[in-house]
Amino acid sequence: MLNDMPHDLINPKLINLTNRTLESFFGFVQVKVYCPLNMKRPVLPFHKDGKTIYPVGNWIGTYFSEELKAVSKLGYQIKLIRGYEFSRVDLFTKYVNTFFEIKRTSSGPEKMIAKLLLNNLYGYFGRKQITIQTNNIKNDNLEPILLSRIVKSIININEEYSTVLSYSNINYKLLAKLNNEFHNKIEKFHTPIKSNVALSAAVTAYARIVMIPFKIDPNTLYTDTDSIFTSKPIDQSLIGDGLGQMKDEMNGTIINEGLFLGHSIKNS
């Protein structure tokens, strides 16, 4: 979050980028990607059939420009198609430094609150517009609820009450099209969820960039979003309580045996 963030759209429309270079662009871009077939540890993710994979070969995807610049150094070939270009701004440095210092120097609830404020902010910007609403409803009133809301699930509490999980911020015009006889009694639209997907996507991409050296290290046995299991000690300068440093979760203990499950997808 200390990196430059996408701020204002330079052009509000989707722009053609076939004549632009990646180095001159900052924002989100649809690209043609080629990953060498002999790359043993590919690092650029791609969504396929609802799953995240790390393929080799050719595909088309949409990415944050800075992540593409990072993987280009590893041998990925990138051709720009179109995208949204942003200005860049140092948006979160003061925020992060302030609450990190509180976290570092405090304890108890104050430390926990500072940690939550640091960890949850970027995810807040990525919230879905459609959220889940939870209500305890009398069973006698379930029928009008089912006719006037899109219900995710119903959990029976007892003979009198049930807990109903329904989607909020839905498009009530859709309910009208479904011939909902109650739609005229429903308020038009809930308070819109305030979000900024560009910020959340950028922070997540920057995090993946930080993890690239660990992912391509042959001593790394397994990686997750922000963690690694390694067969050899890493540089001690990377471990500590400083901002962005790794932490030894095992406190020096060595795991003698581990089992890591994975799934391989091969396309002809």
Q: Decide: 190 and 130 in contact? Cβ < 8 Å.
A: no
Q: What angle do CA 130, 2, 69 make, to 5 degrees?
A: 85
Distance from C-alpha of 56 to C-alpha of 43, rounded to nearest angstrom: 10
Distance from C-alpha of 24 to C-alpha of 13, rounded to nearest angstrom: 18
Q: How far is CA 181 from CA 172, 176, 185, in A?
A: 12, 8, 9
Estimate the crossing angle of helix 108-124 against helix 197-216, to 10 degrees: 100
Show the tokens assigned to 213.
Answer: 């050296």
The reported pLDDT for the residue numbered 58 is: 97
The reported pLDDT for the residue numbered 56 is: 96
Q: If you count them, how many residues does the chain have?
A: 268
Q: How far is CA 154 from CA 124, 127, 174, in A?
A: 27, 23, 22
**What's the distance, CA 260 to chain centroid?**
23
Contacts of 82 (CB under 8 A, 6+ apart): 14, 15, 16, 17, 18, 29, 30
Phi, psi (rounded to 5 degrees) for 158:
-160, -165
Q: What is the largest CA-CA distance in the chain?
A: 66
Spell out, as residue ranges, where the chain has pLDDT lower than 70.
Answer: 129, 169-193, 263-268
Show the tokens assigned to 105.
Answer: 């120097």
* pLDDT tens track for 76-129: 999 999 999 999 999 999 999 999 999 999 999 999 999 999 988 988 888 776
